[in-house]
Structure 1
Amino acid sequence: MTPDRQERDRSATGGSPSLIERASRLSVAPMMDWTDRHCRMLHRQFSARALLYTEMVTAPALVRGGALHLLDHDAAEHPLALQLGGSEPEELAEAARLGHAAGYGEINLNVGCPSDRVQSGAFGAVLMRDPDLVARCVAAMIAASPAEVTVKCRIGVDDDAPEKVLPHFLETVAAAGVRRFAIHARKAWLQGLSPKENRDVPPLDYPLVVEMKRRYPGLHVSVNGGIGSLEAAEGFLRDGLDGVMIGRAAYHEPAAILAGADRRIFGDSHPEVTAEEAARAMIPYIADHVAAGGRAHSVTRHMLGLFAGRPGARAWRRHLSTAAARDGAGAEIVEEALALIPGALAAE
């Protein structure tokens, strides 16, 4: 990482609520099995300003299971928020306390995940049916930790009428002390649709999310769901929303989404980082990870979409995927793959 970018990262590091709220103007959604610490480090190469989220960490895993390693992260990942899953107020309060002690300045409660695994634990999107319980949970979390407590939710579940249930949900949870919400603009169908289908099949209702901001101007409202470009993000911000949360597009095409984010969304004048620069910035990180006993694949699997839409992208993906499976594979596989991208600058 260049000294210039190191300085930018230092300026973006920390957990103050004001910093994190500014960062939430554009955020990368928490995504299970995707937004781990290696993915976040890659995303941070492109944007020093966007807010990043952990994968969902369950409160029982932290409090009952003692899995504090799930909170591990690097200071360079900040501004960074921890997402928790759970439905027991005292347990969530302890998990929030642990999260703040680990250095997270925002603790987000998952009230949107529709997976069977989450439903069986009585948390995630199923909690939208019980806003009073969510209010008790966030009130306990707020009392236990100085970190800002936020909520990520859907617009409703199953046969709900979102225009009725969403305002009630927001009012109830806001009364307990939450001011910032990220709203996935789809219902969650808890019966009949898989988690994957729940990301695509229920129709999007962006106007409802915009209306919630107009109805509750004191709340900080971000929109999530199906957003695939910075142009779309800029449009939502012009419509009056406080933030935009992008998920799969930021993962599959990180250069397209994040390389221009600091300039276009945050007004940063620094030059954009290219996909080549980001790839090479990850080489020492991969080398350190492998030296510590990790596998190169754990990092490079998040880098497959770096050159999406460019000549050589398929060869890049193929080489990283196959080379990372070799015994003893290390950071050299990145330079090998870069050699397959036409126009990629040679390493200095």
Structure 2
Amino acid sequence: MENIKVAMEKHLDNLTKPRGSLGKLEGYCIKLADIQGKVPPEIKNKGIYVFAGDHGIAAEGVSLYPQEVTRQMVLNILRGGAGINALATGTNWEINLVDAGVLGDEFPPDSELKPLCNFIRARETKGSRNFYKESALTKEELQKSLEQGKRLARDAAAKNYGLTAIGDLGIGNTSTAAAMLVAAGFDPNDMVDRGTGIDAPMLDHKKHIIIDSVKRRNPAKTGESILENLGSSDLAMMTGFILGLENLKIGCVLDGFPVTSAAYIAWMINPKVSNWLFAGHLSKVAGHKPALERMGLEPIVSLDMRLGEGTGAVIGGHIIELGVLAARNMASFSEAHITDSEKQEEKY
């Protein structure tokens, strides 16, 4: 049986264009064809999962915003007023907002909320604990969160998504992401950034808190130990979601720094995850680029974004879809009665 990647490349070369002339769009098509096991690949439906959760480390004054903003932003997305609502609508993504550990009581029933997107109640904790003072999650909470993420991967398959994306929402999540990656071996100076836009003194404080927290927790350099000691329920669910996509033939587009930190933990557990991951964009946050590079992922766009919520992922995913549309809808040389080159073109 012919290799899927080779077959997809032949399909692209037979379309009415110079060979390789769609550039990186062709590479995205080839990778998605390999993921789906289908030439050409197909995206009938696509869905983004925005994981919302609170982070105990916010109590150490590492963010400009109070923790109640997480809950307020959940309600904003449910009402259709957030950045992800605007961009997902414009690029035809279905939004799945996941309560993956928001502080406070359970949200009111859908009959009262009247959500304008899918609302998935999957919380295993009411926020993570403050890892400056204690481990962020118990072993049981971690395992339940990972399993919830894997369950949501199966949900994506049941919804017949040809492409998925992951977004994040939660005050303090860049601190959690940085701590996890520092524990994984990255330089703190490369990982700790301004997040929501903190000033220089606050940045120094944030860096101190993260470095000291990693020393205090001193987790083993395994994905699960890092999540337990320095992670959160929402990042653990993202990790489980990515791991759970194995063998489901669904690609996944990553958003910014917090999502990429969860992807990196998944990569530590199973390096094969890079085979079904795309980097939607390169965010403004400093630690994003080195984490992507370590996993061998090249960002699709670089727009200096740092909003989160999956906004960069849906833009990158839309570009992947444009490549798929070209691969599926362009005529071949024979269909269009156009003479192909008699000589083999050099791709450049």
* TM-score normalised by the chain length of structure 1: 0.30
- The structure with the largest alpha-carbon Rg is 2
* TM-score normalised by the chain length of structure 2: 0.30
